[in-house]
Amino acid sequence: MADAIQRSISEAFSKVDRKDFVLPEYAAAAYEDKPLPIGYGQTISQPSTVAFMLELLEVTEGLKVLDVGSGSGWTTTLLAHLVGDAGMVTGVEPIPELVKFGQTNLAKYYPAHKARIYKATNHYGCKDRAPYDR
């Protein structure tokens, strides 16, 4: 199963272009293995860290996943690719400007019924779309 998960992650990285999730002034560095600023004191995580996290999560098709601190929407979009048509991903982000940024980026790849980013509230997660598998 580990090989299948690694193949799925590799495929997700090839289908979801990180450049679509970085600020224009950092586009030239989009493929470097380092975090990049996305504004408001936040960063888009470095690819190797995200790949390791996704591997540990063992995300497979059909799962419902919650992404806390969705930022630019890159990890949310990668997760949406991994869960496939039968799954669903919900991202939550506390910074309103990043909610909009993430939603715009996510919409380039997936419709809202498949993956969506919400403004985080004082409650954990997004109970309207719960329960979650990961």
Q: Where are the domains of the chain?
A: 2-129
pTM (two decimals) = 0.94
Please give the chain's pLDDT, 134 residues, in tens: 678 878 999 999 999 999 999 999 999 999 999 999 999 999 999 999 999 999 999 999 999 999 999 999 999 999 999 999 999 999 999 999 999 999 999 999 998 888 999 999 877 778 888 899 99
Conformation bin of residue 78: beta by default, left when phi > 0, alpha when psi is -120 to 50: alpha
- 45 given a catalytic annotation: yes
3-state secondary structure at position 64: strand
Handedness of CA 62, 63, 64, 65 (dihedral sign): negative
**How far apart are the C-alpha atoms of 123 and 100, rounded to whole Å?**
20
Find the catalytic residue in 45, 48, 70, 72: 45
Query: What homologous superfamily does CATH list for 2-129?
Result: Vaccinia Virus protein VP39 (3.40.50.150)
The one-character DSSP state at 31 is T
